[in-house]
Amino acid sequence: MNKLIDKLPTWPIVIIGGWMAFAPVFPEPHLVQKLLMTINGDAFKLIDVFDVFMHGGLGLLAVMKVWRELSRRPAVETS
C-alpha cells in the first residue's frame, strides 16, 4: 500500500482530496452534514455511507500522502 501511495503525484492528490473533502461548499459540506447526522442520531442510509467514503476517502488519501512525504524528509539540523 505504501508503494502505491508513494507513486501518486503529491499536488494533484492534495488538491483533489481537499476539494472533495469540502464539496459542496454551500449549503454545507457533505462530511459536515454526515457528522451532524451522526451526532443527532439520525439514521444513515446506504447513500450516506457512500457519501462519506467518496468525500472522505480522497481527503484521507491526501493526508496519508503528505504524511509519507514529510516522514521521508531528512531531519534539519539547527546550529
Domain map (residue ranges) of the chain: 2-72
Model pLDDT, residue 66: 92
Residue type, 67: W
What is the chain's pLDDT, residue by residue, as a tens digit (79 residues)?
888 888 889 999 999 998 988 888 888 888 888 889 888 988 888 888 888 898 899 889 999 999 998 888 777 777 6
Residue 17 CB coordination number (10 Å): 22
Nearest-angstrom CA–CA distance, 58 and 1: 15
Q: Is the pTM of this model over 0.85?
A: no
d(CA 44, CA 3): 34
Tell me the C-alpha distance between 26 and 13, whole Å: 23
pLDDT given at position 79:
64
User: What pLDDT does 12 receive?
Assistant: 93
